[in-house]
Amino acid sequence: MKATVKVLIVLALVAAVAGTVWLKGAQHAAGAAGAGAEGDTEKPGKPLPRLLDLGADKCVPCKMMAPLLEELKEEYAGVLEVEFIDVWKDPEAGERYGVQLIPTQIFFDASGEERYRHTGYLAKEDILAKWRELGVDLGPTREKEPAFSRWEPAGPAPEHGEACYLCDGVVEPRTRVVLETPQGAVRFCSPHCYLIAYASMTDESKSHDAVTVSDWATGEPVSLTDARYLYTLDASGRPVIRAFADEAGAAAEQARSGGSILALAQLEKKETANLCGFCDRPVYPEDASVVRVAGMQTWGCCVMCALGVAARTGRDIEVEARDALTGEPVRVTTFEGHVAELDPPTAVAWGGARKDEDGKVVSTGCFKQAFFTSEANLRQWAEANPRETGRQLSIEEALAAKMKLTPEQISKACKIGECSPR
């Protein structure tokens, strides 16, 4: 009897288990059927071409790739899949994809087939060009609008009267320099700005004959070539130049303020002692950006020319500039024509420019370019300078514009247009 009961209990248990298995299987089948029905209304997304970047978060070119990968991911969402794998943290991925050097970019078409791979830094525009070359249509180039731009002055013209042709500074009566040209008089705020413009002129017949400078004591115009110049330094070490009609006038002021009395030829030598490493314009180191290249130091007369030293020399450079609003340092290190390090990483550039009659963007000159430690500083500066026009740029965009210049364009930089009276 007991044996019979045990057998019945076992059979009951088997039946119960079988029933449970069947029930779960039925539920799974029902669930699968439900999922299938739901899938009929929500079809899987269309396969996308994929850009896979295999690198690490510490190598220099890998770090340079990071921001542009984020830009591509944002700008081409739904069109291009962008993926990054840190092979130092996931070495198996490196082996799986046959990576030998980093960073490595692999281009896969929508079917998952590898179409191309590249080792090293690859610029955003080169990535997009490669997709076009491979016949992969990502649609029109999705250029981002600058975060801030202004193409028309936001304030009235200054009421101070004359503005310097070169720097737009106020032309004070006692430091005025006037160059007479067939098109009319061109005025400068100081001998310094005039000599910069003179150095920029390419006409071999140029001379100082048609130039006058104001006598510091009387304000009367005297011949630039006949004048005597009192050369002193201000508290920052920046030169201060005062012109006088004769030696006696210069000596009288020298007795009060010190300094050296110079003839024009001597003054020109001092003024041209330091030149921009990109465009060869005379600069005051106190005004310029510092550029280090190949173990040497040179200058950039403006922040854009400082970046241009990388294009002119074909070498990696280090730039130390100043925020145009606060004077805080902005440091840029390049690698193979791209920004490798930026301190602070929030730094941005202002590309001083205007639009001509045809809508083409043209530079407003070296004195209109600037770096800022942040977009907030740029906007505050723009509010304080409502006449300035141009657009916000990333430092990489500013550098890229210089790296695109041909040797002929570099040789003509700052020698035509804004810097030469015409």
User: Quick check: is 62 catalytic?
Assistant: yes
Cis link prior to 103 (omega < 30° from 0)? yes
Cβ-based neighbour number of residue 349 at 10 Å? 27
Q: How far is CA 340 from CA 96, 103, 106, 242, 411, in A?
A: 28, 14, 22, 44, 26
Q: How far is CA 271 from CA 34, 70, 194, 228, 321, in A?
A: 84, 46, 11, 15, 21
Task: Give the C-alpha separation, 403 to 34, whole Å.
Answer: 58
The separation between CA 191 and the C-alpha centre of its own chain, rounded to angstroms, equals 31
Task: Give the C-alpha separation, 231 to 335, whole Å.
Answer: 41
Task: Give the C-alpha separation, 53 to 64, whole Å.
Answer: 12
Tokens of 304: 């854009």
Contact assessment for residue 306 and residue 292, using Cβ atoms and an 8 Å cutoff: no
Task: Give the C-alpha separation, 350 to 334, whole Å.
Answer: 19
Task: Give the C-alpha separation, 34 to 282, whole Å.
Answer: 78
Contact assessment for residue 177 and residue 188, using Cβ atoms and an 8 Å cutoff: yes
Under DSSP, is residue 187 helix (H, G, I), strand (E, B) or coil?
strand
Q: One of 62, 164, 414, 419 is an active-site residue; which one?
A: 62
Cα angle 162-190-169, degrees, rounded to a multiple of 5: 45
Q: How far is CA 249 from CA 177, 189, 215, 243, 265, in A?
A: 18, 21, 9, 9, 19
For residue 236, the number of C-alpha atoms closer than 13 Å in the C-beta half-sphere is 7
Contact assessment for residue 88 and residue 127, using Cβ atoms and an 8 Å cutoff: no
* Cβ neighbours of residue 128 closer than 8 Å, sequence gap 6 or more: 138, 141
Go through the chain and tell me how many residues it has.
422
User: Would you name the residues annotated as active-site residues?
Assistant: 59, 62
